[in-house]
Structure formats: structure tokens, C-alpha cells
Amino acid sequence: MNRSTDKETDTRLIRSADKEIDRRLNRSADKETDRRLNRSADKDTDRRLNRSADKDTDRRLNRSTDKDTDRRLIRSADKEIDRRLNRSADKEIDRRLNRSADKDKQTDEIDFHVYQEEHCPRIREKLATEGRRCLRKCRPHADCKNPRKQCLCDDVCGWSCVRPDLTCDLLGDIENGKIQRPHVEGFGVKVIYSCNEGFVMSGPRERRCQGDGSWSDRAPVCIKKENEEDENNKQGCTFKNTEPHLVAFQGDKELTDEISEISPGSELIFRCSDVGKFRLIGSVRRKCLHGDWTGMTPSCHGLSQKNDYALEKPPTILFRHHVGPIAQSNDGKLVVYPGTVLHLECLWIRKYGTPKWEVSHSYRKYPEGWTNEPGRDPQLEYRLSIYNAQKNDSGQFTCITPMGQRHHVDIVIK
């Protein structure tokens, strides 16, 4: 009986132990399963999260790349548009400038023809009497086939193809007189004759170096002056001033009447109303001898400012002064008070080149350049300045344009 009870007890104990073992094993298996399931779930979650993150990152990157690409494309398109617009604008500007240049050229040519006919004609009557042979006739300087020649006004020959660097033969003094030579030699320069005391001049007082290398007119002759009584018994002269810009003086008196009766032996002096804006052609001084006038009839011709700044015209010279006064003498010189500040402004269109100043002495160097003062025109006025004018500054100041045209002013400091 006891044995049976022990077996029953052992059986129960074994069964209870088996159950406990199964329970523990099941619990352990459940835990392992849960752990594995959790790990798998975590991995799946991480994978999904990573995938989602990758997608979001790709989306953001794509969006950023698209924006950057769009920005670059827009910038490139803007640059291309600007380039094309600039190219189109440049072409239009060039076209308009060319059209304007063509119009200016046509205008210059028209102005030139007018100037040629009115201010520098070829005077055939004088050519016949003087027996002079003229060079090739021209219009603008491009007509001259020889590159060393320019179309310049050659006195009675009018506009001709002339070498601006030519020189005429050296002239000697005349009997009972002398000759005043310029400091420079070459085409267009003039010499001035004078007679000794007790002699009077018959013939031109001035001669010019012409385009063919000869001097204009013939040398004058100095004739012994007759006594006053004989001179007074001779016939007088009549003076008619028909030139609008010519001013005549007898002594210090300006002749303002249309017709003036001048006594024998009297001398008249001439200049233009403004020596910077006009050029006097003819004799500065003329004397009444034997009822007639010596020398050549003077006349005043307007320069560039009076002719729309045409390139073929001699340049206008304007005067501006400070500190001291200036005035024009009866014989056409510019008289300047010592210590004055004087500006000589040569008028030339700047886009066609730069003119130059030539001075007849080497007393000192004078500053020159395009004016930059307020109210002045730096595209038109090429200035030479004389500061604190002194006696040694006196001389001839010549402006020479790139076309070879000249105009000078004789300055006297006193």
C-alpha cells in the first residue's frame, strides 16, 4: 500500500515537474519568439523608415536640383537675351552712326562746294594777267591722288592739290627797302615789304608762298618821296568800303562813311572786325599815289565758325581773358596788357582729330589741350593759355587743323 502511494506521489511529482518544465520552456520560447518578432519588427520599421527617409531625401534633392537647374537655365537665358539685345543695339547704333556720318559727309561736301565758290574761287581773270599756272583743282582733300598733297586754298588758283610742306625760294631785300620774313617757311606764309625813310612803295606790300613754289605778285618798288607841295598838287583818291566786316582807319580815325575822299599821299590801314573770326585777304596798308591806291584791295573772309565748322575751312580762334584787358590794333594785331591771362581757343570738331598750336618764338612753353571749364565745349574748343603775359610772349600764334588749314593771330604785349 505504501509502495503504491509512493508511486502515485512520484508520478504526480514527475508530472508536476514536467508541467513546470513545459511552462518554463514555453515561457522561454515565447520570450525568444517575442524578442525575435520584436527584432524583425524593428528591422522592418527601420527599413520602412529608411526607405521613407530615402524617398524624402531624394524628393528634396530632386526639388533642390530642379530649382538650381531652373535658376541656371534662367540665368543662361537672361545672358543670351542680354547678348542678343546688346548685339542688336550695337548694330542699330552703328547703322544710325553710319547714316549720320553719311549725312554729315554729304553736308560737308555741300558746304564745301558753297565755300569753294564763295570764299576760295579760282579767279581766271587774274590768272590770265599774272600768267600763273595752277595745280590740280579739287574739292575735299580726298580728291588729291598724291597722298602727300592736300586740298588747300591757293590764293587766286582756288582750291588746289598742294604739298603743305613745300617751300618757296628765299627772297632778298629790295632796293631802298627791306623785307620782313616769317619765323616759319612754307606754303601760305607771307613776307612784308617796307621802304626806307624818304621813299614810298609802289606795288604790293605783301607776297605769299603759292602752291607751285612761287611767290604771289611781283616785288614792290621803293620810289623816292616827292616834296609835300608836289604831292598835294596831285590827284586824291576815293575810298568806298563795300566789305561788311572790313574796318578802315586813316591815322587813328575810323572811316565810317560809305564814301571817303582821301588826300594824295595819305595811307589807310585795314583790319577785320574780329581778327580771330575773319581772315584778311589783300593789303593791310594802302597809300594814295597819283590818284590810285597801292597794294591789293583787302577783304575779310569768315572762318570755320561762320561756315558750320566745315573741315576744309581755316579754324576760328576765340579770345578769353582775365585780370587785364585786350584790344585790337588798327592793323589787326591783338594787343594784350602785361599780366593778363589770355586763352586762345581754336574751334575744331574733336571727333575729327586734334589740332596743334605753333608759336613763332621759343620764349616759353604754353599749356594747351581741350578746354574743361564749366560752360565751355570740350568737344569743340582746343585751348592755348598765356598766363601772366609778358613782353617776350609777343609773337604769332597759329592753330593748324588735322586737315592742314591754318589761322594765326599776331599778339603784342604792351
Residue-level pLDDT at 115: 45
Question: Does one domain contain both 310 and 398?
Answer: yes
Residue numbers in the chain where pLDDT is lower than 70: 1-6, 29, 33, 38, 40-42, 45-46, 49-50, 52-54, 56-58, 61-62, 64-66, 69-70, 74, 77, 81-82, 85-86, 88-90, 92-94, 96-119, 125-131, 140-142, 183-185, 226-234
pLDDT for 114: 45
* Residue 310 and residue 402 in one domain: yes
In a domain, 355, yes or no: yes
Distance from chain centroid for Cα 216: 34
Domain end marker among 282, 302, 322: 302
Same domain, 322 and 296: no
Q: Kindly state whether residue 4 falls inside one of the protein's structural domains.
A: no
- Among positive and negative, which fits the CA dihedral 205, 193, 316, 319? negative
Query: Which one of 302, 317, 345 terminates a domain?
Result: 302
342 & 390 share domain: yes
* Domain shared by 310 and 340, yes or no: yes
| H-run or E-run covering 8 | helix 2-119
363-411: pLDDT as tens digits = 999 999 999 999 899 999 999 999 999 999 999 999 999 999 999 999 9
- Regarding whether 246 and 264 lie in a shared domain, the answer is yes
Residue 331 near residue 349 (C-beta atoms within 8 A): no
Are 334 and 281 contained in the same domain? no
User: What's the pLDDT at 107?
Assistant: 45
Dihedral sign (CA 247, 323, 414, 408): negative
Answer yes or no: is 249 within a domain. Answer: yes
Which domain covers residue 271, as residue numbers? Answer: 235-302
Whether residues 362 and 378 share a domain: the answer is: yes
40 CB burial (10 A radius; 0-12, 13-18, 19+): exposed
The answer to the question of residue 75 being in a domain is no
Residue 201 maps to a domain: no
Residues facing 120 on adjacent strands? none
* Domain annotation covers residue 291: yes
**How far is 192 from 205, CA to CA, in rounded Å?**
6
Do residues 387 and 326 share a domain?
yes
Q: Rounded to an integer, what distance in angstroms lies between the CA atom of residue 88 and that of residue 94?
A: 10
Q: What is the pLDDT of residue 130?
A: 64
Q: Is the pTM of this model over 0.85?
A: no
pLDDT of residue 314: 93
Domain tally for the chain? Answer: 2
Q: 125: number of CA atoms within 13 Å, CB side?
A: 1
Please tell me the predicted confidence (pLDDT) of residue 25. 74
Q: Select from 302, 334, 355 the last residue of a domain.
A: 302
Same domain for 264 and 329, yes or no, is: no
Are 339 and 381 in a shared domain?
A: yes
pLDDT of residue 120: 76
Element (H, E) at 45: helix 2-119
**What is the CATH number for 284?**
2.10.70.10
- Concatenated DSSP letters of 65-130: HHHHHHHHHHHHHHHHHHHHHHHHHHHHHHHHHHHHHHHHHHHHHHHHHHHHHHHS---HHHHHHH
Q: Does some domain include residue 164?
A: no
The pLDDT value recorded for residue 360 is 94
